[in-house]
Amino acid sequence: MPETVLADTPAPGTREPKARRTGLFGGRLQVARLRDLALVPAIVVIAIVGQIVNPVFLQADNLINVLQTMSEIALLVLAQTMILIVKKMDLSLESTMGLAPGVAAWLVVPAGAGHGLGLLPGAWAIPVTL
């Protein structure tokens, strides 16, 4: 009866290929993977300059404040990124983000100030913007 040879085993008389070392220190990083780290030096430089200019910059309270302030815009940018990834190319989000606060301010600012209509009370500014 002939002996069965599995596809995973090398043919007789051939050498097994060397195992490729993978990992951060054991192998080479692919060039495509280096693009993921392209902004890290810029972020580090911004953090260092920010700390030099204002010693409160890297404190936990300030970082939490920045993250809370930018969370709404981050969610909108994430949604816009998904639209761009599927190649629908709808860039109307930027115009809406710029126009809505202006319209809300125009409706809320009193007419006596010379710039607004004063049609709505101040409490309506946020719902109109959203």
| 3-class SS letters over the chain | CCCCCCCCCCCCCCCCCCCCCCCCCCCCCCHHHHHHHCCHHHHHHHHHHHHHHCCCCCCHHHHHHHHHHHHHHHHHHHHHHHHHHCCCCCCHHHHHHHHHHHHHHHHHCCHHHCCCCCCCCHHHHHHHHC
Q: What is the number of other CB atoms lying within 10 angstroms of the CB of residue 15?
A: 6
Lowest mean pLDDT among 18-32, 33-47, 116-130: 18-32
Average pLDDT (99-114) is 72
Domain spans, the chain: 91-130
Average pLDDT (101-106) is 75
Dump pLDDT digits (tens) for 14-28.
766 665 555 555 555
